[in-house]
Chain A
Amino acid sequence: MSDPLFWHRLHFGFTVTYHYLFPQLTMGLAFLIVLFKWKAFRTGSTLHDEAARFWARIFGISFAMGVVTGIPLEFQFGTNWSRFSHFAGGVIGQTLAMEGMFAFFLESTFLGLFLYGEKRFGPRMHLASAVALWLGSWLSGYFIIATNAFMQSPVGHSIGPDGRLQLEDFWAFVLNPWGIWQYLHNMTASVVTASFVVAAVGAYWSLSGRQREHATLALRTGVIAGLIASCLMVFPTGDRHGRLLAEKQPATLAAMEGLFESKPGAELAIIGQPDVMHRRLENPVVVPGMLSFLIYGSFGSTVTGLDRIPVDRWPDNIELLYYSYHVMAGLGTLFIALMALAAFLLWRGRLEETRPVLWALMLAMPFPYIATTAGWMTAELGRQPWLVYGLMRTSEGTSPRVSAGNALFTLIGFSGLYLVMGILFLYLVGREIAHGPGTPSHQTRVTRTPDLAGEVG
């Protein structure tokens, strides 16, 4: 209880994980809403227009939750991780400040227009604001991933005479190869989440025999986008990310895979629990040579195991890291299988008659959230024991004047507040889904009197 480091880690881990439940939906959904709006704009389809409006309502609720849970994060670098901010602010401050300047202003401006302006400003402006929101939210994701990429694989920096990090090469820092692959992997994941949510809502309507046309559209959109995005998760984005991991963070890769011994023809563990004390996997079910093949393209290549890495550089929670990675990868594989089956049935025109698959699509909705969370846990636990890989240990980054008790107290405060918000979110989104597309259940549109006070900015 008295170790501040543990509570600071849990504090950030909890608030950032909770926050990211919302943007992962809104970023992917922004993309799908643009598709609906574009189709409606080009063909005049009222069905697509109604779909866009329906998903915009879900988007609005999720976006609001994402905004308010995102504000604390920018403060928490300073409040809970002051030594880290002091050490790394000269570099990562760049991308965090750019996120505000280039992404948040864009998003917040066009959010108001998108949510309140359709009737007043017409379909062209509404489509443009949807596109701006999509770009803004995806840009925001890039700056955050670039920040994280620096912590995972620092580039473009030097260490100043005062021991603080300083920026040397801006473009190397912003175009960090680690960040580019992590970004593509992450954004594809947000499309997976949004596609699964859209497909699940379509499956629910279809199973309950309501909103027939909308059910069909949601199923078609969700399944096709979901299949494409799920495949892209594995190849090329996941594959390339894995190779970078082998190059930059061999300790992480070994721990994720439960590989305690370096060996040629390293096996890929499908099932098994790491027994760190005895340095082995319990009840392993493995594919021989597969890990070597996935990383180096040949079954005989040698993969570095934990035995070649000093214990003080091992990730400090190998079990949780191993499970997170396997949950992510396992779910990702199941997503492809489910979406491939659904896409096949869709192609044969039998999806809406095959109720077990509709049930599976409906109940699959939480799993992309779990997979994404597990993916981020893999990235963040895998980076340990480093806060900035190879440069600063996590234990050296906390705020010296903030006690364990204060960190725990505020963590409990956030937990309570976020629990209430989670209930509110589910209640409001549930209402929208039950109500379905059509007339909105609420009316807060605003209009202006024509050019009354035009001189006021």
Chain B
Amino acid sequence: MEPLWFAIVSGMLAVYVVLDGFDFGAGFLHLIVARNDTERRTVLAAIGPVWDGNEVWLLAGGGALFMAFPAAYAVGFSGFYLPLMLLLWVLILRGLSIELRGHVTDPLWAAFWDATFAIGSTFIAIVLGAALGNVLRGVPLDGTGTFHMPLFDTFWPSPHSGVLDAYTVLVGVFTLLALSGHGGLYLAMKAEGPVHDRSLRAARLSWLVAGVLFPLVTWATAQVSPELPGAAAQRPLVWILAALVAASAAALVVGLVRGRPELGFLGSAGTLFTLLGTAAAARWPVLLRSSVSPSLSLDAFQAATTQHGLRIALSWTLVGLPLACGYFVFIARLFRGKVRLET
């Protein structure tokens, strides 16, 4: 049961990154690709009906983590106390910016929420990346089975590193660029005219820089977590997922080069999902790597609840997850096509 639940939880969180990722990317690009009120309303209308549903994947994935691996949820969330609280405040402000901007017709009101939306989305994209960086690099889990870390301490990764160091910031920046490319493709798909053109250009540039950074990120990951490549190379699933990364990335490149945002978006969604999947498959069974000593790491077997509990949860997940996917397809089909504002 543990491998299955490890896969379900990782999969749900990866879906979260793919889905909320495009609206974070759209937010990062908001002030750049949309220059006047109509264009900005177009961007918001493109994500308006879906962003809340996208964010639910975080809550559902977090809930699944809580249920399946209570120890990892407890140790991880309390260990990242301050950064998580900062993230929550920004998530709140950003959610409000999307929902409240349209309620008052006033340029200052709109400008305030536009800026909140853009800054909030940018911050969250970087923080999500840095969080992934922390999971890959490890946290100072000690003999008590808990950890606490400062926001930043040493510049280069070390057992004393804070949440932010050169490595996690690098992953954060890479994530921002990748999500910017992802969101740019979404906007190119949903918008017409200048917003479409600027979004496509932004997506090309973002993915280009992200592509250049990718080998550096991979190399740095092997440096901070030396046991990872060796373990990963022996797992067939890692190779399959890595092949899927390559295939998705090919679709992404074709979509970007030929200016076909639909293909590019599917490619970028696939790339993000399989990249995260590869990382999770390589990382199994470790949930929280200890940067103090590998023997202190928290793995899925130690953190899991009982087999009975996991089996029960699997039975309702087999009902609930297809329903959730069904809603998503339903809403995506209803709101398919280009966004146009009606005044």
Residues of A within 8 A of B (CB): 60-61, 64-65, 67-69, 71-72, 74-75, 77-80, 82-83, 85-91, 93-94, 96-102, 104-106, 108-109, 111-113, 115-117, 119, 121, 160, 164, 166-168, 170, 399-402, 406, 410, 413-414, 417, 421, 424, 428, 431, 441-457
Whether the pair B305, A121 counts as a contact (CB closer than 8 A) is no
Whether the pair B78, A93 counts as a contact (CB closer than 8 A) is no
Whether the pair B77, A96 counts as a contact (CB closer than 8 A) is no
**Smallest CB separation, A353 vs chain B (Å):** 35
List which B96-143 residues lie within 8 A (CB) of chain A: 96, 99-100, 102-105
Whether the pair A446, B78 counts as a contact (CB closer than 8 A) is no
Whether the pair B81, A86 counts as a contact (CB closer than 8 A) is no
Whether the pair B81, A71 counts as a contact (CB closer than 8 A) is no
Whether the pair A399, B96 counts as a contact (CB closer than 8 A) is no
Whether the pair A167, B305 counts as a contact (CB closer than 8 A) is yes
Whether the pair A109, B328 counts as a contact (CB closer than 8 A) is yes
Contact with A along B308-343 (1 / 0, CB 8 A): 110011001100110110011111111111111111
Query: Bound complex: CA of A453 vs CA of B185, how far in Å?
Result: 14
- When A67-B52, A105-B53, A446-B45 are in contact, do A78 and B308 touch as well, CB less than 8 Å? no
The answer to whether the Cβ of B197 comes within 8 Å of any Cβ in the partner chain is no
Query: Bound complex: CA of A112 vs CA of B332, how far in Å?
Result: 11
Q: What would be 24 A-B contacts, judged by CB atoms less than 8 Å apart?
A: A71-B59, A72-B92, A77-B73, A82-B74, A85-B74, A93-B67, A93-B305, A96-B66, A97-B67, A98-B63, A102-B316, A116-B48, A119-B342, A400-B78, A410-B82, A410-B85, A417-B93, A424-B100, A428-B100, A441-B104, A444-B44, A451-B337, A456-B262, A456-B337
| Top 8 A-B pairs, shortest CB-CB distance | A89-B70, A78-B77, A93-B67, A112-B49, A100-B60, A90-B305, A101-B320, A97-B63
Whether the pair A68, B103 counts as a contact (CB closer than 8 A) is no
Query: Bound complex: CA of A446 vs CA of B50, how far in Å?
Result: 13
Interface of chain B, main secondary structure: helix
Residues of chain A contacted by B154 (CB below 8 angstroms): none
List which B69-90 residues lie within 8 A (CB) of chain A: 70-71, 73-82, 84-85, 88-89
Whether the pair B59, A104 counts as a contact (CB closer than 8 A) is yes
Query: Bound complex: CA of A99 vs CA of B323, how far in Å?
Result: 13
Given contacts A90-B67, A417-B89, A448-B335, 19 further A-B contacts (CB under 8 A): A79-B85, A87-B70, A89-B66, A101-B324, A105-B320, A108-B53, A111-B52, A112-B49, A113-B334, A116-B49, A166-B306, A399-B78, A401-B78, A413-B85, A413-B89, A443-B102, A444-B48, A446-B48, A447-B342
Whether the pair B60, A101 counts as a contact (CB closer than 8 A) is yes
Query: Bound complex: CA of A4 vs CA of B120, how far in Å?
Result: 30
Query: Bound complex: CA of A117 vs CA of B333, how far in Å?
Result: 13
Query: Bound complex: CA of A431 vs CA of B64, how far in Å?
Result: 40
Whether the pair A105, B327 counts as a contact (CB closer than 8 A) is yes
Whether the pair B95, A449 counts as a contact (CB closer than 8 A) is no
Name the residue in A79, A121, A450 with the highest tally of chain B Cβ atoms < 10 Å from its Cβ.
A79
**Smallest CB separation, A52 vs chain B (Å):** 18
Interface of chain A, main secondary structure: helix
Whether the pair A97, B329 counts as a contact (CB closer than 8 A) is no
Residues of chain B contacted by A71 (CB below 8 angstroms): 55, 58-59, 88, 91-92, 95
Whether the pair B78, A112 counts as a contact (CB closer than 8 A) is no
Query: Bound complex: CA of A455 vs CA of B189, how far in Å?
Result: 11
Query: Bound complex: CA of A99 vs CA of B313, how far in Å?
Result: 12
Count of residues in B whose CB is under 8 Å from the partner chain: 83
Query: Bound complex: CA of A128 vs CA of B92, how far in Å?
Result: 29
Whether the pair A100, B59 counts as a contact (CB closer than 8 A) is yes
Closest to B59 in A: A100
Query: Bound complex: CA of A345 vs CA of B90, how far in Å?
Result: 49
Residues of chain A contacted by B285 (CB below 8 angstroms): none
Residues of chain A contacted by B324 (CB below 8 angstroms): 101, 105
Whether the pair A456, B323 counts as a contact (CB closer than 8 A) is no
Query: Bound complex: CA of A444 vs CA of B332, how far in Å?
Result: 19
Query: Bound complex: CA of A230 vs CA of B23, how far in Å?
Result: 43
- When A74-B59, A89-B67, A456-B336 are in contact, do A64 and B78 touch as well, CB less than 8 Å? no
Residues of chain B contacted by A401 (CB below 8 angstroms): 78-79, 81, 146-148
Whether the pair A78, B73 counts as a contact (CB closer than 8 A) is yes
**Smallest CB separation, B177 vs chain A (Å):** 23
Residues of chain B contacted by A60 (CB below 8 angstroms): 99
Query: Bound complex: CA of A101 vs CA of B82, how far in Å?
Result: 28
Query: Bound complex: CA of A108 vs CA of B273, how far in Å?
Result: 22
The answer to whether the Cβ of B41 comes within 8 Å of any Cβ in the partner chain is yes
Residues of chain A contacted by B148 (CB below 8 angstroms): 401-402
Whether the pair B59, A457 counts as a contact (CB closer than 8 A) is no
- When A86-B71, A402-B78, A442-B104 are in contact, do A421 and B96 touch as well, CB less than 8 Å? yes
**Smallest CB separation, A126 vs chain B (Å):** 12
Name the residue in A115, A401, A456 with the highest tally of chain B Cβ atoms < 10 Å from its Cβ.
A456
Whether the pair A72, B327 counts as a contact (CB closer than 8 A) is no
Whether the pair B70, A85 counts as a contact (CB closer than 8 A) is yes
Residues of chain B contacted by A443 (CB below 8 angstroms): 102, 105, 342-343
Among the listed B105, B144, B305, which residue makes an inter-chain contact with A442, where contact means beta carbons less than 8 Å apart?
B105
**Smallest CB separation, A287 vs chain B (Å):** 45
Residues of chain B contacted by A93 (CB below 8 angstroms): 63, 66-68, 70, 73, 305
Contact with A along B136-175 (1 / 0, CB 8 A): 0000000010111000000000000000000000000000
Closest to B44 in A: A444
Residues of chain B contacted by A160 (CB below 8 angstroms): 306
Whether the pair B313, A83 counts as a contact (CB closer than 8 A) is no
Among the listed B53, B56, B312, which residue makes an inter-chain contact with A167, where contact means beta carbons less than 8 Å apart?
B312
Closest to B82 in A: A406
Query: Bound complex: CA of A109 vs CA of B80, how far in Å?
Result: 31
Query: Bound complex: CA of A90 vs CA of B339, how far in Å?
Result: 44
Residues of chain B contacted by A97 (CB below 8 angstroms): 60, 63-64, 66-67, 313
Whether the pair A428, B103 counts as a contact (CB closer than 8 A) is yes
Residues of chain B contacted by A115 (CB below 8 angstroms): 49
Closest to B144 in A: A400
Among the listed B76, B312, B323, which residue makes an inter-chain contact with A170, where contact means beta carbons less than 8 Å apart?
B312
Among the listed A112, A167, A413, which residue makes an inter-chain contact with B52, where contact means beta carbons less than 8 Å apart?
A112
The answer to whether the Cβ of B62 comes within 8 Å of any Cβ in the partner chain is yes
Among the listed B63, B265, B305, which residue makes an inter-chain contact with A100, where contact means beta carbons less than 8 Å apart?
B63
Closest to B60 in A: A100
Whether the pair A168, B308 counts as a contact (CB closer than 8 A) is yes
Whether the pair A75, B84 counts as a contact (CB closer than 8 A) is yes
Query: Bound complex: CA of A121 vs CA of B331, how far in Å?
Result: 12
Name the residue in B147, B306, B338, B342 with the highest tally of chain A Cβ atoms < 10 Å from its Cβ.
B306
Residues of chain A contacted by B334 (CB below 8 angstroms): 113, 117, 121
Whether the pair B103, A61 counts as a contact (CB closer than 8 A) is yes
- When A94-B312, A97-B63, A401-B148 are in contact, do A109 and B95 touch as well, CB less than 8 Å? no
Query: Bound complex: CA of A421 vs CA of B95, how far in Å?
Result: 12
